[in-house]
Amino acid sequence: MSHSRPSRRAVLKSSVLAAGAAAGVSIVPAKVLGGPDHVAPSETFGGALIGVGGRGPGTYKELSKNLNVEQLALCDVKFKDKVDGKKIYTDFRHVLDRKDIDLVAIATPPHWHALISIAAAEAGKDVLCEKPMTRTMGEGRAIANAFKRYNRVFQIGTFGRFGMAGNEGNRQTRKLMTSGLLGKTDACVVRRGGFKVKEWSGRLDVADAPVPANLDWDLYCGPAPLKPFNPTRVGGTHRWYWDYENGGLGDMGQHFMDPLAWLYGLDTTFPVEVEASAAPAHPEVTGMWAWSKLTYANGFTLVLESGEWGEPSGLVSKTPKVTDLAEADQKKLAAMPEPEPLLTFADAVKQRKPAGGNAEAAYRTVAILHLTNLAIRTGRKLKFDPVTEQIVGDEEANRLINPPMRAPWHL
C-alpha cells in the first residue's frame, strides 16, 4: 500500500479500537484487522512489472509470493505499439507516478536496474529486482543509499542465502566469520564453473539492422551509449556487451555468490585485493577469462574459476571451525547473538524491516563480480579501499566503478 496516506486497514483499525476501548470489549478478530500473524482482506498491494521478457514473469511471481498483489501495470520498451496508458507502458516513469502501485518487480537488463530502483524508492515503492543488482559498483552504492534514505524494502532476485541460513551449522559458520575473533586466517573457498563464460562472450560479426517498429530503442539504451540497433543487443545476448551487463559473471555470478557471501560474512565487507587471469579485454564486448582471486583484510581468499556451463562445477573450501579458536574465544563466541533470521520479501514488506537480500547486502555481494571484471578489463592486480570504495592509485579502474551515463540520465 502507499505509505504516503493511511490505509483502509489503518483507518478501520483505529476506529474499531477506539470504539472497543470505550466499550471495554474487543469487537473484531485479528484476522479482520490484520496483524503480525494475519493479513487483512483489505490488504491488497498494487503491483507492477517493469521488463516483461525473459525473467520478467518469474521475478513478478517472487514479488507476489505470500502477498495479496493485484497486477496493475506492465512496462517494457518493446510495447511501443501497445501502450494504452492504463495498464501497458513503455516508460517506467509513468508507472512510478501511479499512487496505487506499491510493489515493483524489475526485470530489465542491468543497465536500467539502478535508475529504476532508485526512482521507485523515491516514489515510495518497495522493489524486488532481478540479478545482477547493477551494471557497475557505483550504481550499487547509489541503490543501497537510496533505500536506506527512503526506508523502502529492496530484495535482490536470488535466494540462495535463505536455504543456506536454514542450517544450524551454517549459522554457526556465519557467526564465527563475522565475530572478529579469527584474526588473520588462511581460509580459502574456490567456486568452480557454472558462469556461462563462453556462452556470453561477445561477437562483433553481427550486422546492424533496422529498429523493430514495436521497440523504443532510445529508451532501451537509456543511460547506456546510443549505438546503432543490433539484434544481439536485446534479449539474452545483451550480456555480450559491457554497455548493458557483464557477461557470464553478470548472468550467474550473484546466484553463486549470494549464499557464499552470507555464509562467510562477505556481505558485510569488501575484498582489499583482486587479480584475474584473462585474455586482453575488448572495450565493447565481454570475453573469456580463467580465474580471479579476491583477498579480504583478514586473509580470507575467494577464488572464482570460470569453467564452462555443463561441465562439473562446485565448491572446494578450507574454512575455520569454532574449535580452531582458543577456549576463551570459544566462550566469547558462544555469548554473542545468533545471526538474525532472514526476512523474505513478503515478511519485510509486512514488517517494514530489511529483507534477507537487502540493498546493502546485495551491493557488497555483487561487488565481488564487479571487482573481478575490473581486474579482467584492466588486466592488472587491483587494491581496493573498503572505506572510500575506490581502487587505490588507479584512475582508469575508478572510472569503470562509476562511469558517466548518457545525458539526461544520471544517478
Output the CA torsion sign for 110, 362, 301, 171. Answer: negative
pLDDT at 193 over 80: yes
Write a three-state SS string for 173-208.
HHHHHCCCCCCCCCCEEEEECCCCCCCCCCCCCCCC
Beta strand 289-295 pairing with 273-278: antiparallel
Give the model's pLDDT for residue 16.
35
Confidence at 307, pLDDT banded by 50, 70, 90: confident
Which grid cell sits at 346?
Answer: 513478503
> What number is the average pLDDT over the span 214-226?
98
Domain ranges of the chain: 8-158, 161-203+235-340+350-401
pTM: 0.88
Beta strand 69-75 pairing with 45-50: parallel
Confidence at 316, pLDDT banded by 50, 70, 90: confident
Write a three-state SS string for the chain.
CCCCCCCHHHHHHHHHHHHHHHHCCCCCCHHHHCECCECCCCCCEEEEEECCCCCHHHHHHHHHCCCCEEEEEEECHHHCCCCCCCCEECCHHHHHCCCCCCEEEECCCHHHHHHHHHHHHHCCCEEEEECCCCCCHHHHHHHHHHHHHHCCCEEEECCHHHHHHCCHHHHHHHHHHCCCCCCCCCCEEEEECCCCCCCCCCCCCCCCCCCCCCCCHHHHHCCCCCCCCCHHHCHHHHHHECCCCCHHHHHHHHHHHHHHHHHCCHHHCCCCEEEEEECCCCCCECCCEEEEEEECCCCCEEEEECCCCCCCCEEEEECCCHHHCCHHHHHHHHHCCCCCCCCCHHHHHHHCCCCCCCHHHHHHHHHHHHHHHHHHHHCCCEEEECCCCEECCCHHHHHHHCCCCCCCCCC
> What number is the average pLDDT over the span 267-272?
97
The correct answer on CATH 3.40.50.11540 for the domain covering 8-158 is: no
351-410 pLDDT, tens digit each: 999 999 999 999 999 999 999 999 999 999 999 999 999 999 999 999 999 999 999 999
The DSSP bridge partners found for residue 130 are 157
For residue 129, what are the contacts with CB-CB under 8 A and spacing of at least 6?
59, 105, 106, 113, 117, 154, 155, 156, 157
Looking at residue 286, its amino acid is T
Which grid cell sits at 333?
Answer: 563466541
Domains 8-158 and 161-203+235-340+350-401 share a fold: no
Q: How far apart are CA 52 and CA 108, in angstroms?
A: 8
Confidence at 288, pLDDT banded by 50, 70, 90: very high
CATH of domain 161-203+235-340+350-401: 3.30.360.10
5-21 pLDDT, tens digit each: 444 344 334 443 343 44
What's CA 229's distance to the chain center, in Å? Answer: 28
Phi-psi region of 24 (alpha: psi -120 to 50; beta: other; left: phi over 0): left
Give the model's pLDDT for residue 242.
97
Give the model's pLDDT for residue 315.
73
Give the model's pLDDT for residue 313.
65
Burial category of 236 from C-beta neighbours within 10 Å (exposed 0-12, middle 13-18, buried 19 and up):
middle
Q: How far apart are CA 246 and CA 369, in angstroms?
A: 9
Contact 255, 162 (CB under 8 A): no
